[in-house]
Amino acid sequence: MTGLDESHDHGYGFPGDTDVGLPNPARVYDYWLGGSANFAVDRELGDHIAESEPRIASMARENRSLLRRMVAHCCRQGVDQFLDLGSGVPTIGNVHEIAHRHDPDSRVVYVDNEPVAVSHSELLLEGVDKVTILRGDLNDPAEVLNSPVTRGMLDLNRPVAVLLLCVLQYFPDTDRLRDTVARYRAGLAPGSYIAISHLTTDDGAVNTSGVAERIQHSRANHQAYPRGYEDVLSLFEGTRLVEPGIRYAQDWHHGEIAGPTEPSGIYAGLARVPE
Ligand SMILES: C[S@@+](CC[C@H](N)C(=O)[O-])C[C@H]1O[C@@H](n2cnc3c(N)ncnc32)[C@H](O)[C@@H]1O
């Protein structure tokens, strides 16, 4: 596996404000998934975390598998619009690839605030219809929902699936998060969906506390705040959880997974915005 070398942009054209001196969650996660959109600092932190939990890469893969099942589920319910918040560096099985398999007319807006994730997404999406990327901060729902990029692609008067997968764990204040999710929900039509996956220490099978501690003591520009069941449940206020409710990622609709699963240390839930 090779990664980016911070002395050249390798034609990726990453913007000048990319901080290549500090590890970033998008690029560390990309490293665990076997991608190449990461720098030496990201790989160092990725390896350091893996020393505390050697299954970290399979945890990341379980989350991507969950993403595919959640998107497919929404497609089967007739949803053809997706807003993927904290979408990350493109990898195998991106939202638009799954959605277009179900309905080539599906529309997808990716949102991320990390320059490398955004520039890789722009490259991947060149010439792909009905999909776009917005560089933005998911903590500002009004800005994201009212952006011309979002409005130009999605019709918010019709159902949209909003994905918040493995991203809310980077924010410390649960009350503020609940408010952020509520503001997205308020901007969505009935029949929309909200998907959340979230790191937790409840799953004793993996050392999520060790992962969070290693991030905390690193130079990373982010911290991880694993949450318990009740806090994750509270993020779904005002929506109706789809069966089977909140489960560990590997157990959510696990019947659809081919082959064995691994413990993930990640809670997962999908909920519908009621009439
Ligand atoms: C661990 S990755 C998850 C990627 C993808 N959602 C998935 O589940 O495979 C978290 C992503 O959230 C992005 N992110 C973190 N804070 C953000 C913010 N305030 N606004 C937008 N994106 C953010 C990071 O840049 C990173 O790409």
The domain tally of the chain equals 1
Q: Which of 30, 61, 113 to mutate to test the pocket of ligand 1 (most atoms within 8 A of CB)?
A: 113
Q: How confident is the model at residue 16 (pLDDT cuts 50, 70, 90)?
A: low
What is the Cα–Cα distance from 38 to 61, expressed in whole angstroms?
17
Residue 24 is assigned to a structural domain of this protein: no
Of 52, 24, 53, nearest to 39 by C-alpha is: 24
Classify residue 10 as left (phi > 0), alpha (psi -120 to 50) or beta: left
Q: Is the CB of 224 under 6 A from ligand 1?
A: no
Mean pLDDT of 60-72: 96
pLDDT at 221: 80
Residue 19 is assigned to a structural domain of this protein: no
Q: How confident is the model at residue 255 (pLDDT cuts 50, 70, 90)?
A: confident
Residue 149 is assigned to a structural domain of this protein: yes
Q: Is the CB of 239 under 6 A from ligand 1?
A: no
CA of residue 166 to ligand 1 center, whole Å? 7
Tell me the CATH number at 174.
3.40.50.150
120, two tokens: 């890789």
Q: Is the CB of 251 under 6 A from ligand 1?
A: no
Task: Output Rg (C-alpha) for the chain, integer angstroms.
Answer: 18
Q: Which of 167, 169, 267 to mutate to test the pocket of ligand 1 (most atoms within 8 A of CB)?
A: 167
Residue 258 is assigned to a structural domain of this protein: yes
Domain that holds residue 163: 56-208+225-272
pLDDT digits (tens, 9 = 90+) for 145-201: 999 999 999 999 999 999 999 999 999 999 999 999 999 999 999 999 999 999 999
